[in-house]
């Protein structure tokens, strides 16, 4: 492979990575906790919505709701990262590129 072909391949990969990142920015995943709290997040880790069922709200026990929120957010983050890793891996052919 000559240098011109290699550079063309690099440009193609960069374009595919940009497209994948754009797609991930609009791909929404949901994280949940005990069926009481749901967090929707894009795969670039932007929270889109938080839903809390009324039975999760106990003014005498705010710590439980706080814990449910943490679990739901962490679940959404894990799903977003998994989705992102799969998508970017398909672009890079499984190469581990720092920052992606």
Residue 99 lies in a domain: no
- How far apart CA 30 and CA 80 sit, in angstroms, is 8
Classify the phi-psi angles of 12: left when phi > 0, otherwise alpha if psi is within -120 to 50, otherwise beta: alpha
**Terminal CA-to-CA distance of the chain, rounded, Å?**
26
Domain span at 44: 3-91
Residue 98 lies in a domain: no
If pLDDT is split at 50, 70 and 90, which confidence band does 24 have? Answer: very high
pLDDT tens sequence across 45-98: 999 999 999 999 999 999 999 999 999 999 999 999 999 999 988 887 766 665
Count of domains for the chain:
1
Q: Which CATH number goes with the domain that contains 58? A: 3.30.1310.10
Instruction: Note the pTM of the prediction, 2 decimals.
Output: 0.83
Residues 6+ apart with CB under 8 A from 47: 39, 40, 41, 73, 76
Residue 96 lies in a domain: no
DSSP per-residue letters across 36-88: TEEEEEETTS-EEEEEE-GGG--TT-HHHHHHHHHHHHHHHHHHHHHHHHHHH
């Amino acid at each position: 492979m000559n240098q011109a072909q290699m550079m063309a391949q690099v440009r193609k990969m960069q374009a595919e990575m940009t497209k994948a990142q754009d797609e991930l920015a609009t791909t929404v995943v949901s994280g949940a906790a005990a069926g009481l709290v749901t967090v929707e997040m894009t795969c670039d880790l932007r929270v889109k919505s938080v839903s809390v069922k009324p039975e999760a709200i106990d003014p005498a026990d705010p710590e439980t709701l706080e814990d449910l929120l943490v679990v739901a957010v962490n679940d959404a983050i894990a799903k977003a990262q998994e989705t992102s890793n799969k998508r970017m891996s398909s672009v890079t052919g499984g190469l581990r590129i720092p920052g992606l």
